Amino acid sequence: MIRRIPQARERGIPDATVARLPLYLRALNGLAERGTATVSSEDLALAAGVNSAKLRKDLSHLGSYGTRGVGYDVQYLIYQISRELGLTQDWAVAIVGVGNLGRALANYGGFVSRGFRVAGLLDADPAVVGDHIAGLTVEHSDGLEAVIRKRGVSIVVIATPATAAQQVCDRVIAAGVTSILNFAPVVLTVPDGVDVRKVDLSIELQILAFHEQRKVSGGPMMAEDWAGEAG
């Protein structure tokens, strides 16, 4: 019901590969800034923090953009990955929910530099409406549908409280949006064809806590102390 993305494999690019392309892109941009003209899969893999064989296989899904014996042309590869990810076009993004997180996102430079343009900031709280953030004026979320339609918004970021998220989600889908990035800690229910990705800050922290617990407590003597407690 969520995360049904069979489109990714239509031309044979695995989801796992797509998820890493932004990583490569970032590493390549870093190399380009330092004036590097070409890079080997080994070096690029190191910069991106992945295995070099995996990198080569990932890139091979896009085409044969490398030169044997030399490596990859940095600028050319940047262009190819950008185009594959659809970053050569301009995406209008609306952010719904202008709390702390929404503000952080509106000011986040990583969006603008990657072809994303914040085209609207919306909130249901009258106390927030009218605020000026990152060059935009916060509008009331009553006008959500109008903003989406008039400004060609195709991606919506939900940064509302959990209770409001599903309602906002339903409205933006009704307005024609099919790509949603959800920061609210709820499972959104969406129809087929709508793509939802979620970021939950506390989940990552909980995963860290799991591993941290394993480290400090050694390992044994932990699986047994539940016995006889309630079961």
Range 171-210, binding its own copies (CB under 8 A): 178-181, 185, 187, 193, 195, 197, 199-210
Residue 121 vs 142, nearer CB to its own copies: 121
Which secondary-structure segment (H or E) carries 86? none
Q: Binding residue per annotation — 121?
A: no
The sheet that has 116-123: what strands, in order across it?
139-140, 116-123, 91-96, 155-158, 179-182, 195-198
The pattern of x and - marking residues 68 through 97 that bind DNA according to CB under 7 A reads: xxxxx-------------------------
97 assigned to a ligand binding site: yes
Q: Cβ atoms within 10 A of the Cβ of 170, count?
A: 14
Q: Among residues 32, 85, 136, 175, which is the contact residue for its own copies, using CB under 8 A?
A: 85
Please classify residue 74 by burial: count the beta carbons closer than 10 Å to its beta carbon, then call 0-12 exposed, 13-18 middle and 19+ buried.
buried
Find the binding residues for DNA in span 13-42 (CB under 7 A).
14-17, 39-42
Measured from the CB of residue 126, what is the shortest distance to its own copies in angstroms?
A: 20
What tokens appear for 130 in the block? 């009218």
Cα separation, 174 vs 194, whole angstroms = 11
**Residue selected from 57, 83, 150, 214 as contacting DNA according to rule CB under 7 A:** 57
**42 part of the interface to its own copies, by CB under 8 A:** no
The 8-class DSSP code of residue 90 comes to: P
Quick check: 69 binds its own copies (CB under 8 A)?
A: no
Binder of residue 146, out of DNA, its own copies, none (CB less than 5 to 8 A by kind): none
Residues 121-160 that bind its own copies (CB under 8 A): 154-155, 157
| Exposed / middle / buried, residue 28 (Cβ in 10 Å: 0-12, 13-18, 19+) | buried
DSSP 19-42: HHHHHHHHHHHHHHHTT--EE-HH
- Contact partner at residue 132 from its own copies, DNA, none, CB < 5 to 8 Å by partner kind: none
List, as residue ranges, the binding site for NAD(+).
Answer: 97-102
